[in-house]
Structure 1
Amino acid sequence: MFQAVAWVRRGLFHFRAGLSVRMNSTAIDRKGVLADRVAVITGSTEGIGFAIARRLAEDGAHVVISSRKQQNVDRAVAELQGEGLSVTGTVCHVGKAEDRERLVATALEHCGGVDFLVCVAGVNPLVGSTLGASEQVWDKILDVNVKSPALLLSQLLPHMEKRGTGAVVLVSSMVAYVPIPKLGVYNTSKTALLGLCKSLAVELAPKGIRVNCLVPGIIKTEFSQVEKTLPRLLPDFNDIYGLQRFGEPEECAGIVSFLCSPDASYITGENIVVAGYSPKL
């Protein structure tokens, strides 16, 4: 049975929620909707991940960014700290266990805990047929794109549970719904993330941790421009529907901040498309 505590005021229903769900509006206005929360973001020194890191920090969170190269981490940290934002960072190749451990340790050392995990890091080492991919290609793509978010979350989970509530945002891709030829293994990995989102949402709901998935379309990033097939698809999409342009990384960041915020306290297990059109009912 579902129960709610409600009362009527001027003809409107107002629902009471626990302090773990709702935040004092005055405090939110003063400090930001994510004030004093801690976010760990993989693949966050450029593109969508960097835009998410900036937005969550602007909204009050302490952000731990990461990527595979030290110089990229240093540049991103310096830029965001230069904007007055609370950011730290470390090198992390999410496919390596020791790097994941270092990322967790960095978050705990600098921030004392973790509230949010945003998994942006991804890889696509092959442009070619699905069945022509080698076992090594399959292993690399699935390790980085699918296994690593689950393994990293398993390491962070005990620390997230201590905070009482938390949120996880996986980052998939529109190719999960509209596969691109010659990106077969990558398509498959991004489709798997939709299922991982659903499974984790059910598993972690009793712990007060919500899991959702961002599904970007063609966004202006270096990653999307590497595969020349992607830009050529835009005119085809626009013949049917669409906003007639590429997306910007910042257009993905706001929805992630929302999904981490108290405003999304009753949303979990959703795969949310940010693509300028909708590929599904």
Structure 2
Amino acid sequence: MDLSNVFSLDNKVALITGASKGIGYSIAEVFAAAGAKVVISSRKQDSLDELANKLKAKGYEVCGISCNVGNIEELRSLVDKTVEKYGTIDILVNNAAANPVFGPIHETSTEAFDKIMNVNVKAPFELMKLCFPFLRKSSSPSVINISSIGGISPEAGLGIYSASKAALISMSKGFAKEWGDHKIRVNVICPGLIKTKFSEALWSNEKIMEGMMKMLPIKRIGNPEEIGVMALFLAGNSASYTTGAVLTADGGFTI
């Protein structure tokens, strides 16, 4: 059996949101190393240009396009600019997320609720629809939505964030069922505690970490690269018969 191309993304175009740091950036680097043409997106163009140049210096094909995913017009522009640059979209990774609060669920403001749902659920919904005309023309289209273990079982202090990630899981399964006829695979990754800026409120809290380590079979924090290689599996031919899957990378937290 020839396994040389199992994890290859040669000539594939990948669009990744929330890609200026952490998990999103790691996915971008892994995809680029696998041969993909990668569009990294986040709010700040200056940061994206700096990161794109850093990856280009390694010989990768990467382009940065700024976008506030909470704005539908900017999402349309992101897709238009991606297609203008590379001609199509083969892989979509919805990684951008928001969580402006950490505390009791009943203290979450309506404004925070709306922001969380808008970025974590509505934005992936809209971007998937916008990418659909291009994904269905691809020879091996793949959508990867980054949820959370909170989407499987709500986390204390992260009630509405957890609810949004549960909604993302359910929505992804709905898309997977309906898009199977178009040969578009839709899968979900649920990271556990990963050492990123986004999760710093958790891993920098000694009390929380002490409790986590007691519960984890693999007693350490995960790193973004471990999510990147899981996304690579889902993006390419290695997962050609996988859709609607919800994969955890959490050190065994959800066992």
Is TM-score (shorter-chain normalized) higher than 0.5? yes
Instruction: Kindly indicate whether residue 40 of structure 2 is the aligned counterpart of residue 65 of structure 1.
Output: yes
Q: C-alpha distance in 1, partners of 2:132/2:216?
A: 40
Q: CA deviation at 1:226?
A: 3.5
Q: C-alpha distance in 2, partners of 1:58/1:230?
A: 34
What amino acid is the match of 2:174?
S
Q: C-alpha distance in 2, partners of 1:244/1:229?
A: 16
Superposition map of 1:171-210 within 5 A: 171-210=146-185
Q: Specify the SS of the correspondent of 2:85.
A: helix
**In the alignment, which residue of structure 1 is the partner of 2:249?**
274
Which of 260, 269, 281 is the equivalent residue of 2:235?
260
What amino acid is the match of 2:148?
S
Q: CA deviation at 1:107?
A: 1.2
Superposition map of 1:189-268 within 5 A: 189-227=164-202, 232-268=207-243
Q: Specify the SS of the correspondent of 1:84.
A: coil
Instruction: Kindly indicate whether residue 8 of structure 2 is the aligned counterpart of residue 44 of structure 1.
Output: no
Q: Specify the SS of the correspondent of 1:88.
A: strand
Q: Specify the SS of the correspondent of 1:121.
A: coil
Q: C-alpha distance in 2, partners of 1:168/1:230?
A: 33
1:68 to 1:139, Cα distance in 2 relative to 1, 3 A: same
Q: Specify the SS of the correspondent of 1:142.
A: helix
Q: CA deviation at 1:228?
A: 6.1
Q: C-alpha distance in 1, partners of 2:205/2:184?
A: 34
Q: C-alpha distance in 1, partners of 2:207/2:87?
A: 46
Q: Specify the SS of the correspondent of 1:131.
A: helix
Q: C-alpha distance in 2, partners of 1:184/1:230?
A: 18
Gaps spanning 5+ residues in structure 2: where?
A: none
Q: C-alpha distance in 1, partners of 2:205/2:217?
A: 15
Larger Rg: 1
1:186 to 1:265, Cα distance in 2 relative to 1, 3 A: same
Measured against aligned partners, the alpha-carbon deviations of 1:164-184 in whole angstroms (never above 9, x if no partner) come to: 431000001112234222221
Q: C-alpha distance in 1, partners of 2:70/2:113?
A: 13
Q: C-alpha distance in 2, partners of 1:230/1:180?
A: 15
Measured against aligned partners, the alpha-carbon deviations of 1:102-136 in whole angstroms (never above 9, x if no partner) come to: 21012111110000000110001112322332222
Measured against aligned partners, the alpha-carbon deviations of 1:216-237 in whole angstroms (never above 9, x if no partner) come to: 0111111110456766433323
- 1:165 touches 1:207 (CA, 8 Å); kept in 2? no
- 1:44 touches 1:50 (CA, 8 Å); kept in 2? yes
What amino acid is the match of 1:142?
M
Measured against aligned partners, the alpha-carbon deviations of 1:75-118 in whole angstroms (never above 9, x if no partner) come to: 21111111110000111111111211121012111110000000
Moved more, 178-187 or 247-256: 178-187
Q: C-alpha distance in 1, partners of 2:175/2:48?
A: 29
**In the alignment, which residue of structure 2 is the partner of 1:125?**
100
- 1:39 touches 1:114 (CA, 8 Å); kept in 2? yes
Q: C-alpha distance in 2, partners of 1:259/1:230?
A: 32
Question: If the length of structure 1 is used for normalisation, what is the TM-score?
Answer: 0.85
Q: C-alpha distance in 2, partners of 1:232/1:46?
A: 26
1:226 to 1:99, Cα distance in 2 relative to 1, 3 A: farther
- 2:172 touches 2:244 (CA, 8 Å); kept in 1? yes
**In the alignment, which residue of structure 2 is the partner of 1:100?**
75
Q: CA deviation at 1:276?
A: 0.9
Question: If the length of structure 2 is used for normalisation, what is the TM-score?
Answer: 0.94
Q: Specify the SS of the correspondent of 1:223.
A: coil
Q: Identity, % of aligned pairs?
A: 36
